[in-house]
Structure 1
């Protein structure tokens, strides 16, 4: 892995590399969504992706770029679920071993889905263990390659294919983006989307969307430097509980993002219900935050076009039931 920042050419190359290995998810629209926002809204539904989230893109791109010797050692990562499942699926696809360190309180649906791909699961206490150090130790012990969840140039490039596809498919409908809302944890998806949008939709205002209490990217943008979470919020959006923007992701996001916004649990539940009732898809809490921001009027483009990423749909059944009943 190089520490060099990826570029748009890397996103283009990833799109070619991933063709036939990941789904090109469609664009979704709904007249009620346009009416509520006063804009034309196009939604990229990554819950429809194999493994149920965008994470398959980055993990597969990184795995495909490994040498034959590195593939023999397998891969290691840490993840609350979606990236772990993606790495397990990518490893299965390429005939490699995968070891995934997962928090003990990770949603059971994500743990079991990861295990079904044949991965070895190593549980850990997310509050008492340094996950990065644990993953590095596991990789060293197994002679494996570490593929981190977001701070990796090949992962970032793969995630950028989400925005590349969205812009291309919107253009086929005669639509040009004025704003773009993306779910943000460590910033890998956001950075990849920024790389694509800088080249393909440079006038679009791009917003990082985070859960309240986990808005480290928003506050880091305001400070002009990466700063950690100080007063964590709830664990509802388990996919987005990164404590600080990445060393690679933040420089990319800082140079282009128009800003960051945070959404409440109530706004997340509203978005999950809207996605289920009107778009007919299941969105997990972390996957719904960008839609939540648009529905709440925190990301706007009156009379314009807004792109929205719903990043994942691996929702815990009990949490999903709470969202529908809220």
Structure 2
């Protein structure tokens, strides 16, 4: 259909809408093509370096594979052995859970405490932030783990300092009653990353809430409990998820401090260290792959539980 005007024959309104829609669709397709073109290198890397290795690892978890011979299909034998007949699996699980349950809450509490202190408007705040954040950059390195091993050795700097006060310190690393605490302290020392995130969250709390609470007679502690903590629960939730996952994946400190052995009577045998021993110590790649997938399930379960519980204690703007 067309409309006749003084200037001639023009497309009808329906035709003009159809024509505009065609050009709009073409522009949308062009933008989408450009987006996918820029995304294509990442998709290749993600597919080849993440998806394909994960699928291969899942297949190998059902096989007996030693890197030298072809994989031998075992079905669920690896998983059955891990869950029912592997004492080192249970030992590594116990050590890892103790480490997670000790290090994560202490680290987050310290990070929040320091963030609250730095949020008071100190001079040279950027310098303090850099100083406190520095351990998070260095803490996971082999050099720091070796330094930690020297500090907590029987004749290390810690015991030398205690000797000045007449205290005879134990051999922290070789004593199973204390060895896990050396790793917990090392993890807590790296509180800089969650501290920076907490500090950013604290900066978003309106100051008039504290002013109103002060007028009503609320002290600093009550303001912290009733205003600060509820307002930063989304940030706390984020830090909790990230730090829990990192704690489950912790490997370097245990490997270096215990020289790859897992410490006395497996007292520092992290799950990831046991996985490493099976894979690169005994070349049981199929068994190690099964261990890796069990770890993935455990981390996913903890994350799912955290998200489920969040609706009871995490408060958003709505």
Which category describes the TM-score, using the shorter chain as reference length? under 0.3
Higher relative contact order (Cα pairs below 8 Å, separated by 6+ residues) = 2
Q: TM-score, normalised by structure 1?
A: 0.23
Q: TM-score, normalised by structure 2?
A: 0.23
Larger Cα-atom Rg? 2
